[in-house]
Chains A and B, each alone.
Chain A
């Protein structure tokens, strides 16, 4: 039985036996090479589930929309499971109300090209799951095949220039924020209006404030799934911000978001041994 057949079979069983009220997965979109999140509530609809290189959406965030319905099964690749762990630690999800259908991920493709985040991915398999469907994906294979994108090698001025060029293309559609599984604030800082905190225009300064603040909010939480970069209609590599933040969190606190079930989110912990050289 192929992985996809196993997935459909299990989804159908879970729905028929009423162990879950819904299976969240992927289905093929109408345009070639794209998938759409699928919310399957009827056993017969399980046939539309797919899992392949087009399934780039991180489904963890979609769980927040349907968790009120009851126990949900979710198709979970490595990055999705890391986001689920972050959401569990932040008390946004209840583990008992999730049935995690693990799948090994060979990387997500965009226009036939392996997504940047998948090239650097160290966790193609779910960190946590209730059952694995199909074989796990080979761990570091992708990395050895593809060089890591360079980050943090530039001077401060060069970096600012490069980020300014990137961010000046932003049209403030917030696709990056909306697809992010860990962006779930009821009122985002950019939507605050009494008082307004961030300018709504596409001036470089307004765009930069949005992207830098978002990156800071993601530090220690972003699992580098790359959904934001893939969602951006203007082709901005938003992961430049997030990769850098994740790198700093790892260097300073030795924490990688969403890879352990029992550690606390890096920026919620005070440790007297933390480097505090900025306090003079």
Chain B
């Protein structure tokens, strides 16, 4: 599909136009705080693309932390109205890939989650390629790229006051059909390559998976989990984590069925109605998270559930670094024979 060039003014006009037709979400500086968050905007002026990643990923725009599934009153229930059309502008390639992963999970296993699907169908993803990685970025180690297009409709690359726009889908191409063709050669690729060069080498995730396949009871887990405090910060900030809990809130015959994010790090997550809890210990919960990222989702939907955004590294109150965890596991777990 034809690449185009968009000037800053051109992008500003587009944003204003899109905001008239639906919601536009983009990174915005979070008040007095030193980070950015996806917020609804009506003009490009409100946005701030200076950070590599937003504090929270964009996952909440398709899978909100708190979502009303239905409301009920006197024995009758009512489903919420269809979500509005939305444009997510300035999503990084890692976060977009994470939503593509979630789409596989929510819609690709013979079951379709109607709430996620309704939002996905009404969302346009406009990505921002990364020109400079953060210290904690490692998308290149887990199969991603700072200029990856997975999950996107359109990828923008900042080429100094202007943006090179690369359509990924017809929807993306239509957005920029009126823009001029670029006179610039392979600048975008060069910028992305330069960024990728600064990032870590790929992890042999297939070998790691084979190690994890037979490493469930290995004593390495006894040491690895000790520093972990079992909070859910990593899971809630993770762009691929997708677990939820459903509760009914009811008072005098009226109420709502609500789903909220849940975290495998919480003791109640795996507690059965009988009171039995198969993951009673901090050790087993920590192991579950690592296993989930690098083994379980590979078994379930055929891919890792880590996109290398680095949020868990930045925010872990115990200073745990998943790159280090992977390194220790690769070093200590014996590699099982490859299954035929």
Contact = CB atoms under 8 A, between A and B. Distances in A.
Interface of A: 29-32, 34-39, 57, 61-62, 65-66, 111, 171-175, 177-179, 187, 191, 193, 196, 199-203, 227, 230-231, 233-235
A39 B227 contact: yes
Contacts of B230: 178
5 contacts: A57-B318, A111-B34, A200-B245, A227-B317, A231-B229
Contacts of B249: 199
A39 B283 CA distance: 14
Interface in B123-173: 135-136
A79 to B, nearest CB: 15
Contact of B226 (A66, A174, A227, A235): A66
Nearest to B232: A173
A231 B282 contact: no
A65 B317 CA distance: 17
B314 interface: yes
A179 B229 contact: yes
B314 A31 contact: yes
Given A175-B229, A177-B231, A199-B247, A30 B65 contact: no
B237 interface: yes
Contacts of A65: 226, 282
B300 interface: no
A23 to B, nearest CB: 12
Contact of B231 (A178, A193, A234): A178
A34 B65 CA distance: 29
Given A173-B236, A178-B231, 5 more contacts: A31-B321, A36-B318, A37-B227, A171-B236, A202-B260
B33 interface: yes
Contact of A234 (B55, B258, B313): B55
B83 interface: no
Interface of B: 33-35, 55-56, 65-66, 135-136, 223, 226-227, 229-233, 235-237, 245, 247, 249, 258, 260, 263, 266-268, 271, 282, 313-315, 317-321, 323-324
Contacts of B233: 173, 175, 231, 233
B226 A30 contact: no
A171 B263 CA distance: 12
Contacts of B227: 36-39
B65 A231 contact: no
A61 B228 CA distance: 12
B268 A203 contact: no
A199 B251 CA distance: 13
A37 B226 contact: yes
Q: Report the 9 A-B pairs with minimum CB-CB distance, sorted nearest first.
A: A29-B319, A231-B317, A36-B319, A175-B231, A178-B231, A178-B229, A30-B321, A233-B315, A173-B232
A201 B231 contact: no
A178 B321 contact: no
Nearest to A33: B319
A173 B231 contact: yes
A174 B232 contact: yes
A191 B142 CA distance: 34
A200 B65 CA distance: 10
Contacts of A196: 247
Contact of A178 (B65, B226, B313, B317): B317
Nearest to A235: B33
A30 B313 contact: yes
Nearest to A38: B227
Contacts of A111: 34
A201 B260 contact: yes
A174 B282 contact: no
Q: Most chain-A Cβ atoms within 10 A of its Cβ — which of B65, B227, B236?
A: B227
Given A31-B313, A65-B226, A178-B231, A173 B263 contact: yes
Nearest to A196: B247
Given A173-B263, A200-B247, A30 B268 contact: no
A230 B233 CA distance: 13
Contact of A174 (B34, B231, B314): B231
B226 A39 contact: yes
A174 B237 CA distance: 13
A212 to B, nearest CB: 19
Nearest to B322: A30
A32 B233 CA distance: 20
A24 B223 CA distance: 13
Q: Most chain-B Cβ atoms within 10 A of its Cβ — which of A61, A196, A235?
A: A235
A193 B271 contact: yes
